[in-house]
């Protein structure tokens, strides 16, 4: 079974390759199968069979699309939940706190989801994508070994189906950079320092894969492109260079031959620029290196390793300019093969799956041509194979495909809606004044007079629990089964209920509860021109959770007010101020597929102008408080330090453009969904919002003294109720947290609110929690 002769010709993946493929199934079959298993509706065998079907369907599809089934060009990149969790389980890096974990998949899911009062591994964002991975916990006592052979078994399964895959595993350096030290570890311990102990487990894995006949293994090292990750791990670039040298030097020193100690090694560096780390990797002796030529550059070509040139964007949904990509490939020195810049995990399966019916097209904001401008995963595989054929046989071998791509791009550039002159003129006419509100102290005075709020005002972040009746009404309306009027009546009834409840609880600044919103970005994307939504464009966000990001394809305009009627109605019910709720420009961009034909800053400002008009209309409808949420502000922060200042400049600028038209007496709030501010703390001040609510309950208000030290003097609402858990905090608990806040920052600026929106919670927890929050505010107020 050990036929691994691929380098005798000196070529690697001559037909092109991709770094990974969506794993959840074309119709989210895997999602359904795991969720049915979790719910106890099916057994393990049924789940394994469904997963096998998804894997085999992927293999068939990739071969049909033109990847070579025999030489390791097809990645074996399946996962039941997450690839970092897979690596942890494969390498035996299971934290001690999971003592007595069940073997196999049941234990694997316990690590991912927790069980009883056993909390799961922490989850956090994967580089600058919307994917989330599980954070391994490492201590000085963690023993690494080849503890699970699922990767090997999947390779054998594929082989039996006629495809020799290239197994994909997170590489050792990135694995440790992503890990955190377990609670038991001593102060100052870094998981990174365990590299020498970890590498032998990788060596054992390579040995097992060589035995199974794998010609190549792909080790993913995105950690090498991220300064942010290095900073968080407390590791310098020089240390990483040494780590690359020693880990890959050791692995490469295992000999390659048939049935021998290891397969050939492809090391990937997606999501950015490998920079000076290319050299140690190249010198280590690995056979191939995949670089991201969409985000990063390849200033020095490797001299020893074969280069897999990631010229097809794995991360966006736009059809590539194949001529330009071919020029890029031609400019690279030495032998290269064609690849994607990243795994295709981040894009939907297939543009051709979209039904795109005319009736739905209008509602979904699609111009009929849009389909031809897009490339989802399957289209990208074809792009890779076309470029590979052009490299091998010259451009004329694929002339039709190149011309078709050029024609589609030309059509896109000239299509109505892509450039809207009025939008361009408005942007060009902006001046500094459009980005600045009046002096902060004058605003404070005007708002105090208008709102007349008590000290420590209480409020919520916006959404109230989404009951099943709300969801049913919304989906019936979307399908046309419920008429506009009946839908409006249902939503208004919900808004009235939520307003009355807040009044009765005694909150100071009310919200309408957001029952009409499926999602805080999709809602606006459906109402703005320039966006399209898809029917089946699902991408994995984490585990079985998938999202359907809207596609921002054209200049953005607002045909009509988007939130005004709901807010006006809510305000008509009460004397208390009701907040208008908007999603900010950066978050709208972060959670969409954004056009690639102009700077992000320009696109953000277009969205900002639409929001600015909405703010004005809300003001005209009598709204005195407007909240513009930016939970994704930190998410989009570039991975390389050198790019961060520019990002913060335009992202903060777009928020200011959205809000700076507000009158001094209109109170602008913003909400950020996290508490570790680090490199964005200055930006938070720069947003110039009157009040910023943040997550703080779990970290026990840690961020408040930090904000104080950074000179932050505007309103701040550190969350005192952790909404990520069903627990109801007691009055005493909330009082204590609030006490911590008012002792570390001027009580005059403190607001009292939960950590985040309440839409994922139930009323049974939310009601008592909010009552406790109001009672705590009263207690602390009395003691001021």
State the catalytic residues.
724
Residue 73 interacts, among ligand GLN, Zn ion, none and using kind-specific CB cut-offs from 5 to 8 Å, with: none
Tokens 């609030």 sit on residue: 738
Q: How far is C-alpha 374 from the chain's CA centre?
A: 20
Q: Which uninterrupted H or E stretch holds 203?
A: helix 195-211
CB of 584 to Zn ion, least distance (A): 12
Options 129, 182, 458, 463; binder of ligand GLN; rule CB under 6 A: 463
Of 67-75, 82-90, 96-104, 756-764, the segment contacting ligand GLN by CB under 6 A is 756-764
Closer of 51 and 581 to ligand GLN (Cβ): 581
Q: What is the C-alpha separation between 540 and 495, in angstroms, rounded?
A: 32
Of 94-102, 157-165, 521-529, 754-762, the segment contacting Zn ion by CB under 5 A is 754-762
Closer of 266 and 511 to ligand GLN (Cβ): 511
In this structure, the number of other CB atoms found within 10 A of the CB of residue 446 comes to: 16
Residue 463 interacts, among Zn ion, ligand GLN, none and using kind-specific CB cut-offs from 5 to 8 Å, with: ligand GLN
In this structure, the number of other CB atoms found within 10 A of the CB of residue 440 comes to: 13
Helices (H) then strands (E): counts for the chain: 28, 21
Q: What is the C-alpha separation between 80 and 95, in angstroms, rounded?
A: 20
Tokens 């102009």 sit on residue: 598
Residue 268 main-chain phi, psi, to 5 deg = -110, 150
Query: Is 521:494 a contact under the CB 8 Å cutoff?
Result: no
Residue 520 interacts, among ligand GLN, Zn ion, none and using kind-specific CB cut-offs from 5 to 8 Å, with: ligand GLN
Total residues contacting ligand GLN by CB under 6 A comes to 13
Q: Residue 673, interface with ligand GLN (CB under 6 A)?
A: yes
* Both structure tokens of 73: 């060009």
Q: Residue 577, interface with ligand GLN (CB under 6 A)?
A: no
Q: Which among 46, 45, 51, 48 has a CA at the least distance from the CA of 30?
A: 51
Q: What is the DSSP string of 643-661?
A: HHHHHHHHHHHHHHHHHTT
Cβ-closest position to ligand GLN: 757
Q: Residue 462, interface with ligand GLN (CB under 6 A)?
A: yes
Residue 719 interacts, among ligand GLN, Zn ion, none and using kind-specific CB cut-offs from 5 to 8 Å, with: none
Site mask, Zn ion, residues 708-747, x = CB under 5 A?
A: ----------------------------------------
Q: What is the DSSP string of 581-602?
A: EEE-HHHHHHTSEE-SSS-HHH
Query: Is 319:373 a contact under the CB 8 Å cutoff?
Result: yes
Burial class from Cβ neighbours inside 10 Å (0-12, 13-18, 19+) for residue 55 reads buried
Of 27-35, 318-326, 611-619, 755-763, the segment contacting ligand GLN by CB under 6 A is 755-763
Closer of 649 and 724 to ligand GLN (Cβ): 724
Options 759, 774, 776, 780; binder of ligand GLN; rule CB under 6 A: 759
Q: Residue 652, interface with ligand GLN (CB under 6 A)?
A: no
DSSP E strands in 493-550: the ranges are: 529-532, 539-542, 545-547
Closer of 494 and 629 to ligand GLN (Cβ): 629
Cα–Cα distances (Å) from 548 to 532, 541, 583, 758, in that order, read 11, 10, 17, 22
Q: What is the C-alpha separation between 32 and 39, in angstroms, rounded?
A: 10
Query: Is 103:77 a contact under the CB 8 Å cutoff?
Result: no
CB of 590 to ligand GLN, least distance (A): 11
Angle made by CA atoms 85, 89, 92, in degrees to the nearest 5? 135
Residue 319 interacts, among ligand GLN, Zn ion, none and using kind-specific CB cut-offs from 5 to 8 Å, with: none
In this structure, the number of other CB atoms found within 10 A of the CB of residue 315 comes to: 22
The DSSP bridge pattern shows strands 539-542 and 545-547 to be antiparallel
Options 16, 25, 543, 631; binder of ligand GLN; rule CB under 6 A: 631
Q: Residue 461, interface with ligand GLN (CB under 6 A)?
A: yes
Closer of 544 and 753 to Zn ion (Cβ): 753
CB of 5 to ligand GLN, least distance (A): 52
Of 205-213, 413-421, 461-469, 559-567, the segment contacting ligand GLN by CB under 6 A is 461-469
Query: Is 316:344 a contact under the CB 8 Å cutoff?
Result: no
Q: Residue 549, interface with ligand GLN (CB under 6 A)?
A: no
Cα–Cα distances (Å) from 44 to 24, 102, 110, 113, in that order, read 17, 13, 14, 17
Of 94-102, 630-638, 697-705, 732-740, the segment contacting Zn ion by CB under 5 A is 630-638
Tokens 């806040």 sit on residue: 741
* Sites for ligand GLN among residues 509-538 (CB under 6 A): 514, 520
* Both structure tokens of 482: 């419920």
Of 412-420, 536-544, 559-567, 668-676, the segment contacting Zn ion by CB under 5 A is 668-676
Site mask, Zn ion, residues 585-624, x = CB under 5 A?
A: ----------------------------------------
CB of 463 to ligand GLN, least distance (A): 3
Options 581, 588, 594, 658; binder of ligand GLN; rule CB under 6 A: 581
Query: Is 575:546 a contact under the CB 8 Å cutoff?
Result: no
Q: What is the C-alpha separation between 589 and 432, in angstroms, rounded?
A: 23
Q: Residue 581, interface with Zn ion (CB under 5 A)?
A: no
Q: Residue 584, interface with ligand GLN (CB under 6 A)?
A: no
Residue 154 interacts, among ligand GLN, Zn ion, none and using kind-specific CB cut-offs from 5 to 8 Å, with: none
Of 12-20, 47-55, 449-457, 626-634, the segment contacting Zn ion by CB under 5 A is 626-634
Q: Residue 694, interface with Zn ion (CB under 5 A)?
A: no
Q: Residue 673, interface with Zn ion (CB under 5 A)?
A: yes
Burial class from Cβ neighbours inside 10 Å (0-12, 13-18, 19+) for residue 160 reads exposed
Residue 629 interacts, among Zn ion, ligand GLN, none and using kind-specific CB cut-offs from 5 to 8 Å, with: ligand GLN
Q: Which residues bind ligand GLN (CB under 6 A)?
A: 461-463, 514, 520, 581, 629, 631, 671, 673, 756-757, 759
């Amino acid at each position: 079974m050990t036929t691994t002769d691929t380098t005798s010709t000196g070529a690697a993946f001559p037909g092109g390759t991709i770094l990974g493929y969506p794993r959840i199934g074309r119709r989210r079959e895997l999602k359904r199968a795991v969720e049915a298993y979790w719910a106890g509706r099916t057994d393990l065998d049924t789940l394994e069979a469904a997963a096998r079907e998804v894997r085999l369907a992927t293999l068939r599809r990739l071969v049909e699309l033109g990847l070579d089934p025999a030489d390791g060009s097809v990645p074996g990149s399946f996962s039941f939940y997450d690839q970092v969790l897979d690596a942890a389980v494969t390498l035996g890096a299971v934290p001690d706190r999971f003592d007595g974990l069940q073997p196999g998949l049941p234990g694997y899911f316990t690590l991912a989801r927790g069980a009883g009062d056993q909390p799961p591994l922490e989850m956090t964002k994967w580089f600058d994508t919307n994917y989330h991975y599980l954070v391994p916990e490492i201590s000085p006592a963690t023993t690494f070994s080849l503890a699970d052979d699922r990767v090997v078994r999947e390779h054998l399964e594929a082989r039996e189906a006629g495809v020799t895959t290239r197994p994909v595993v997170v590489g050792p350096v990135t694995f440790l950079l992503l890990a955190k030290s377990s609670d038991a570890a001593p102060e100052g311990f870094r998981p990174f320092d365990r590299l020498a102990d970890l590498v032998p487990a990788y060596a054992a894995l390579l040995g097992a894969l060589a035995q199974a006949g794998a010609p190549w293994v792909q080790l993913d090292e995105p950690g090498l492109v991220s300064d942010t990750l290095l900073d968080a791990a407390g590791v310098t670039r020089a240390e990483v260079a040494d780590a690359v040298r020693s880990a890959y030097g050791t692995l490469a020193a295992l000999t390659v031959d048939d049935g021998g100690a290891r397969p050939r090694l492809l090391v990937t560096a997606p999501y950015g620029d490998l920079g000076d780390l290319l050299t140690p990797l190249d010198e280590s002796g690995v056979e191939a290196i995949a670089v991201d030529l969409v985000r990063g550059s390849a200033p020095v070509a490797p001299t020893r390793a074969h280069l897999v040139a990631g010229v097809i964007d794995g991360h966006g949904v736009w059809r590539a300019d194949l001529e330009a990509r071919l020029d890029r490939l031609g400019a690279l020195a030495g032998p290269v093969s064609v690849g994607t810049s990243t795994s295709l995990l981040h894009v939907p399966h297939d543009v051709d799956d979209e039904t795109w019916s005319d009736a739905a097209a209008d509602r979904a904001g699609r111009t009929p041509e849009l389909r031809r401008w897009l490339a989802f995963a399957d289209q990208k595989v074809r792009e890779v194979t076309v470029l590979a054929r052009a490299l091998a046989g010259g451009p004329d071998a694929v002339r039709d495909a190149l011309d078709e791509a050029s024609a589609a791009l030309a059509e896109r550039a000239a299509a109505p809606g892509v450039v809207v002159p009025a939008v361009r003129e408005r942007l060009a006419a902006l001046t500094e004044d459009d980005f600045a509100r009046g002096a902060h102290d004058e605003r404070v005075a005007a708002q105090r007079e208008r709102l007349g709020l008590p000290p420590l005002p209480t409020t919520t972040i916006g959404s109230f629990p989404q009951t099943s009746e709300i969801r049913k009404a919304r989906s019936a309306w979307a399908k046309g089964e419920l008429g506009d009027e009946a839908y409006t009546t249902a939503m208004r009834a919900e808004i009235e209920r939520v307003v009355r409840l807040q009044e009765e609880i005694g909150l100071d600044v009310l919200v309408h509860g957001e029952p009409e919103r499926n999602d805080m970005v999709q809602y606006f994307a459906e109402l703005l021109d320039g966006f399209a939504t898809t029917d089946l464009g699902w991408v994995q966000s984490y585990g079985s959770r998938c999202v359907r990001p809207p596609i921002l394809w054209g200049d953005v305009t607002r045909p009509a007010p988007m939130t005004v009627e709901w807010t006006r109605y809510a305000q008509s019910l009460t004397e208390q101020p009701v907040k208008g709720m908007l999603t900010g420009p950066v978050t709208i961009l972060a959670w969409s597929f954004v056009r690639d034909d102009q700077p992000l800053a320009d696109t953000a400002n277009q969205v900002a102008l639409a929001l600015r008009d909405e703010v004005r209309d809300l003001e005209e409808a009598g709204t005195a408080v407007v909240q513009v949420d930016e939970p994704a502000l930190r998410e989009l922060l570039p991975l390389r330090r050198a790019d961060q200042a520019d990002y913060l400049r335009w992202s903060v600028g777009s928020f200011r453009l959205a809000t700076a038209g507000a009158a001094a007496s209109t109170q602008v709030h913003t909400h950020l969904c996290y508490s570790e501010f680090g490199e964005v703390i200055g930006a938070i001040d720069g947003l110039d919002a009157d009040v910023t609510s943040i997550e703080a309950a779990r970290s026990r208000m840690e961020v408040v003294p930090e904000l104080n030290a950074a000179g932050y003097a505007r309103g701040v609402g550190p969350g005192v109720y952790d909404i990520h858990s069903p627990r109801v905090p007691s009055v005493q608990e909330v009082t204590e947290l609030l006490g911590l806040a008012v002792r570390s920052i001027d009580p005059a600026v403190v607001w009292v609110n939960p950590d985040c929106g309440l839409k994922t919670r139930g009323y049974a927890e939310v009601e008592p929690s909010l009552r406790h929050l109001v009672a705590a505010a009263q207690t602390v107020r009395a003691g001021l």
